[in-house]
Amino acid sequence: MEYRQLGRTDIKVSAIGLGTMTFGEQNTEADGHQQIDYAVDQGVNLIDTAEMYSVPPRAETYGSTERIVGSWLAKPGNRAKVILATKAAGPAAVLGVKHIRGGNCNLDRANLFAAVDASLQRLQTDYIDLYQLHWPSRATNFFGKLGYQHRDDDQSVPIEETLDALGELVKQGKLRHVGLSNETPWGLHRYLQLADTQGLPRVASIQNPYSLLNRSFEIGLAEMSIREEVGLVAYSPLGFGVLSGKFLGGAMPPESRIARWSRFARYTNDQATRATEAYAAVAHKHGLNMTQMAMAFVLQQRFVTSVLLGATKLEQLELNIASASVTLDSQVLSELDAEHRQQPNPCP
């Protein structure tokens, strides 16, 4: 397993990280512990979760993923084995998470303090290595939204207040480092500017979607990421499993998230299907496993610090982690780029 520097911190994280959002919904506590054990045995040291998980977000399962991760961390010796990352939910209206703190989960001081304390309790630890803001407080483009529309009357929490509160939590020792998620170039720039001018914590990473079906990170954020040393922690590298090829030919595995919940239709439009078919042809031509080709493509990007993978079955996890040893040559990369130009970013 390769290990990469987390921003400008003294932490190195595995190139592959374990995403856990299925724990508590599609996976039991025993399943979750088995997955973490296997991942750690393979050299994975980054475990990523969120207060909102499991998914889809429901009041009945709120915090269940953190509790499952926490019961694993509580076993003797386990906490020291991993870099623990979690996230604070943003404004409730965005994903309909009105069950989180009574629907008042803006990124202000009171809410962040409450969120951190609750996560620490569920995770059964006294510190979090990387604390991320799950989505922005302001109205902007994320979760597939296109067509930016500015709001002069935006009542969001000022970024200064958010970062100042995180700074207090770092001083208290509850957080080691902070990160962003589902952010824009302007948002990342503003956080970095405040860190430089106000002596506040410097963002170490940004967790956004990135895959063969969504390369929008390359437009603006990739340059920011490299020049400012704020690496991408990429989520959805397989587009909810679409890039494994398991949905080709109209197949719809009944246990898949896409089949079970309509809210996960982001990667199933006609353009995505055409693009996936083209990528499958490239994999077949070069004798590559499609899943591992898609994962390796993300891993080989200079701006990527770690790639988060999630699985409902251990055999999926085994296949995904094995992609760390796959290297795509220049010919494969050239053909993938050619297909991307034919159908650019079908799932933004």
| Domain membership of residue 196 as a residue range | 3-207
The token duo for 249 is 């030919």
Residue 42 maps to a domain: yes
Instruction: Return the pLDDT at 251.
Output: 64
Residue 75 maps to a domain: yes
Note whether 206 and 180 are within 8 A (CB): yes
Residue 54 maps to a domain: yes
Active site residue 38: no
Q: 307 in helix, strand or coil?
A: strand
* Paired strand residues for 234: 307
Residue 230 maps to a domain: no
Compute the distance between CA of residue 157 and CA of residue 139 in angstroms, rounded to an integer.
Answer: 11
CATH code of the domain covering residue 108: 3.20.20.100
Which residue is catalytic, options 53, 210, 267, 279? 53
Residue 78 maps to a domain: yes
Question: Burial code of 115-142, b = ≥16 C-beta within 10 A, e = fewer?
Answer: bbebbbebbbbebbbbbbbbbbbbbbeb
Number of domains in the chain: 1
Q: Flag residues of the chain having pLDDT under 50.
A: none
Residue 175 maps to a domain: yes
Instruction: Return the pLDDT at 147.
Output: 87
Q: Sign of torsion, CA 258 262 264 268? A: positive
Residue 132 maps to a domain: yes
pLDDT per position as a tens digit, 183-234: 999 999 999 999 999 999 999 999 999 999 999 999 999 999 999 999 999 9
Note whether 179 and 205 are within 8 A (CB): yes
Residues in the chain: 348
Note whether 258 and 240 are within 8 A (CB): yes
Residue 140 maps to a domain: yes
